[in-house]
Amino acid sequence: MSFIDQHAEVFGVEPICRVLTEHGLKMSTSTYYAAKNRPPSTRAVRDAELDAHIARVHADNYGVYGVRKIWQQLLREGHQVARCTVERRMRALGLQGVRRGTRVRTTVADPGHERAADRLRRDFTATRPNAAWVADFTHVAAWCGVVYVAFVVDVHSRAIVGWAASLSKQTSLVLDALDMALWRRERAGRPVKRGLMHHSDAGSQYTSFRFTTHLLAAGIDASIGTVGDALDNALMESQIGLYKTELIKPRGPWRSLAEVELATAEWVAWFNTTRLHSAIGHLPPEEFEAIYYAQHQPNDALTINR
């Protein structure tokens, strides 16, 4: 059918059917027109509707969602569909999720700095928001040079609570990310209380006197992983891997610090309010936190992003 459709204007339907029949592929003109005029099957109609939703969800989420996340999002929207069906239609549409690459190490330990003990001990769980934060930074190659981007992530909800970008990887970079996290929590009416644990690797920025005194002034307990062990900060390693895979690699080349900052701000907003996270029940981080506060502080309004 598709072959005849492609060549009918040049050769005509009847000659094509005759030649196909002569070569053992029996196809009459009446059969062709009967098939063309036959209404689409129920499955074909359903697939066409589903294809539109799958393409929309994929495009609306940076083109990074694979089968599982698109399936979960369709279920959230009320579409009753099997995962295998989503997989089949994504394959037909040529759509797939992104895959993570390897991460380049950016932080370097300073043996001259005293550092805090590892209080987190690879336990990347927390019973509430603002109980434990993890932090790290990465680099982005740009025409203007290297742009460094630092993040602070809440262990409970996986929300990116603070971030900063700079052309320098001095202590100010990670301090700005921390200050944003403190400011955003304060602005949202969820100020940080004493006892919050801030965990990072042993990079000199995080063990510096300036950063350490800033943590003390905010009533935050420092936690530092061992040198050269990525597993001690595996949650943050994973988060940066998502950032590089979902934003930086597919949308480059990057030209300037301002361009990276704007794109990062948009990606962080999407990540916190829309992106489904398997570690928290396939919910966006802010929705997960809203559910927590609704259960523990029922007088607060429950805001859910769908």
CB 132 within 8 A of CB 120: yes
154: confidence class by pLDDT, cuts 50, 70, 90: very high
Residue 78 CB burial class (10 angstroms; 0-12, 13-18, ≥19): exposed
20: confidence class by pLDDT, cuts 50, 70, 90: confident
Give the residue-averaged pLDDT of 211-238: 85
Helix 83-93 vs helix 42-60: crossing angle, to nearest 10? 80
CA atoms within 13 A on the CB side of 97: 14
Residue 302 has pLDDT above 50, yes or no: no
Helix (H, G, I), strand (E, B) or coil at 163: strand
16: confidence class by pLDDT, cuts 50, 70, 90: confident
Helix 257-273 vs helix 234-243: crossing angle, to nearest 10? 110
Both tokens of 42, joined, read 């129920």
Alpha-carbon Rg for the chain, nearest whole angstrom, is 26
CA dihedral (123, 222, 200, 266) positive or negative: positive
pLDDT digits (tens, 9 = 90+) for 256-298: 999 999 999 999 999 999 999 999 999 999 999 999 999 987 6
What is the residue whose two structure tokens read 């300073």? 110
Neighbours of 7 (CB within 10 A): 13
- Left (φ > 0), alpha (ψ -120 to 50) or beta: where does 228 sit? left
- The whole-chain average pLDDT of the chain stands at 88
Residue 244 and residue 267: Cα distance in Å, rounded? 11
Pairing of strands 145-154, 221-224: unpaired
Residue 11 has pLDDT above 90, yes or no: no
**So what's the pLDDT on residue 44?**
83
Residue 180 and residue 163: Cα distance in Å, rounded? 7
Give the residue-averaged pLDDT of 101-125: 65
Give the residue-averaged pLDDT of 189-198: 92
> Cis link prior to 253 (omega < 30° from 0)?
yes
Residue 216 CB burial class (10 angstroms; 0-12, 13-18, ≥19): exposed
pLDDT digits (tens, 9 = 90+) for 55-84: 999 999 999 999 999 999 999 999 999 999
149: confidence class by pLDDT, cuts 50, 70, 90: very high
Both tokens of 285, joined, read 């981080």
**So what's the pLDDT on residue 227?**
60
**So what's the pLDDT on residue 228?**
56
Residue 114 has pLDDT above 70, yes or no: no
Residue 86 has pLDDT above 90, yes or no: yes
**So what's the pLDDT on residue 14?**
87
**What's the whole-model pTM score?**
0.78
DSSP string, 193-251: -TT-EEEE-SBHHHHSHHHHHHHHHTT-EEEEPPTT-GGGGHHHHHHHHHHIIIIIHHH
- Left (φ > 0), alpha (ψ -120 to 50) or beta: where does 123 sit? beta
